[in-house]
Amino acid sequence: MQMEQLAIHGGKPVRQQAWPRWPASSPALEEEVMQCLRSQRWTVSGFYQDQPSYEEKFARAFADFNNAAFCIPTANGTAALLCSLQALGIGPDDEVIVPGLTWVACAITVASLNAIPVMVDVDQHTLCLSPQKVEAAITERTKAIMVVHLYSAVADMGALLHISEKYNIPIIEDCAQAHGATWQGKRVGTIGAVGAFSMQQGKILTSGEGGAVVTNDQTLADKIYSIRTNARKKMNGKPSTGYMELEDAGDSFASNYCLSEISCAILFNKLQSLDQENEIRNNNRHLLRQLLGNVEGVSMTDSAPGTTSVSTYHLPLRINRSHFGNITIKALCEMLSAELGIWIHQPYIPLNKHPLYVTDDPRFAARREQLNPSRYQLPGCWEVYNTHLLLHHSMLLGNEEDINDIVNSIKKIKTIVQ
């Protein structure tokens, strides 16, 4: 009998059908957008049209979803982080702890405020910040800890809160990848001082581009609103129709990171299905864990103690390469992408070597050594990079057949390469 061939070498791919579409539209979503388009108000700084703005409707709904007192939508997740850092008073020469394994926005936002991103290694179970390494990195200049709930896990908030309280350093939770997850029953984003979300296209709640900050602290919320809105605030009371709902606050050096009304209308609609979609993904994730239990050399990562529910964004699979003929993770990703007809890729390149984290920008000339990312040792991040691959959450939005395809592709590759 002829040996089965890998799809990457011209064999028949395991996956023969399309994956669930992401992002997905619906008649109700299209109607919501049309209502916004007809409303003559396309931004929060557009004129009041005798009804609450979509920004207000989405902000209220997302605050309620998270059980937070306040929510301020932002142009994107990077802006959500930047506004949060600025509201916490982060400035020149302050140090902010960021994980070495995360999207570059975490370090870039810190550097853009003339502060120093201090890159800290991650835990091998959760792939999120290692609390021990965080404590070892604290100096008298540490002004914030940016905790990222990465790759479908919740970070070890028990240990991190303990450190935050011990040294009186606020936590910014980056929840770009964790909308709806809970720790000790609380939604992520409401455990630290502020929670920053991204609603970029790949995220589990999306408007293409978008973001939001949630907090329970009125002072921080007011500051973030102003920092986001060119130092304007919402006027007290109801404006007259056709007049501006914003008025000068004049209390901060502030840029414009507002989110358009059209994006807010999309988010207002998409939020209604988030819990249900999280449940589908988590059920399929559970099934995948069960089925992979029989595949030696492949395992799934854990969330931290105290996690009461996860949300699934990029789902990491840990690979013991010795069971796969010691091929590289990159090669394995390429083989799996060909079998499954969807992009499977490695985790982020750790920030100490990330090509997008450039510090030779002339604005940083005086601080080149302080910002030099290669001065950090991040062996744990590199271990993750070299031993994990990521599945996009849209692959878990379907049914059992989809999960079988994932498992059968892995088994096929393993049989051929081992």
Which positions lie near ligand PLP, rule CB under 6 A? 76-78, 102-103, 105-106, 148, 174, 176-177, 198, 200, 211
Quote the least distance from Cβ 378 to ligand PLP, whole Å. 16
Give whichever of 246 and 315 is closer to ligand PLP, judged by the CB atom. Answer: 315
Q: Are 180 and 393 in contact (CB under 8 A)?
A: no
Q: What are phi and psi of 101, to 5 degrees?
A: -115, 100
In whole angstroms, what is the distance from residue 22 CA to residue 25 CA?
9
Count of beta carbons in the 10 Å neighbourhood of residue 412: 20
In whole angstroms, what is the distance from residue 64 CA to residue 68 CA?
6
Quote the least distance from Cβ 174 to ligand PLP, whole Å. 5
Quote the least distance from Cβ 148 to ligand PLP, whole Å. 5
In whole angstroms, what is the distance from residue 341 CA to residue 219 CA?
48
Paired tokens of 260: 């358009």
Give whichever of 59 and 413 is closer to ligand PLP, judged by the CB atom. Answer: 59
Residue in the structure block whose two tokens are 């905790």? 147
E strand intervals along 301-368: 307-309, 315-319
Quote the least distance from Cβ 192 to ligand PLP, whole Å. 14
DSSP string, 71-120: EEEESSHHHHHHHHHHHTT--TT-EEEEESSS-THHHHHHHHTT-EEEEE
Quote the least distance from Cβ 160 to ligand PLP, whole Å. 16
The distance between the two most distant Cα atoms of the chain, rounded to a whole number of Å, is 80
Q: Which amino acid is at 96?
A: V
Helix/strand/coil percent split, the chain, to 5: 40, 15, 45
Give whichever of 76 and 278 is closer to ligand PLP, judged by the CB atom. Answer: 76
C-alpha distances out from residue 344 to 15, 203, 238, 335, 353, Å: 13, 16, 50, 9, 21
Give whichever of 73 and 291 is closer to ligand PLP, judged by the CB atom. Answer: 73
Quote the least distance from Cβ 66 to ligand PLP, whole Å. 17
| CA 102 remoteness from chain centre | 9
Paired tokens of 399: 């049914």
Quote the least distance from Cβ 211 to ligand PLP, whole Å. 5
Q: Are 65 and 213 in contact (CB under 8 A)?
A: no
Give whichever of 115 and 335 is closer to ligand PLP, judged by the CB atom. Answer: 115
Q: Is 308 helix (H, G, I), strand (E, B) or coil?
A: strand
Give whichever of 109 and 409 is closer to ligand PLP, judged by the CB atom. Answer: 109
Give whichever of 148 and 160 is closer to ligand PLP, judged by the CB atom. Answer: 148
Paired tokens of 297: 């050399």
- What is the crossing angle of helices 274-292 and 400-417, to 10°? 40
Quote the least distance from Cβ 320 to ligand PLP, whole Å. 26
Catalytic: which of 133, 143, 203, 414?
203
Q: Which amino acid is at 335?
A: M
The verdict on whether 223 is a catalytic residue reads: no
Give whichever of 314 and 414 is closer to ligand PLP, judged by the CB atom. Answer: 314
Best CA proximity match to 74, nearest among 294, 239, 352, 263: 263
* Residues labelled as active-site residues: 203
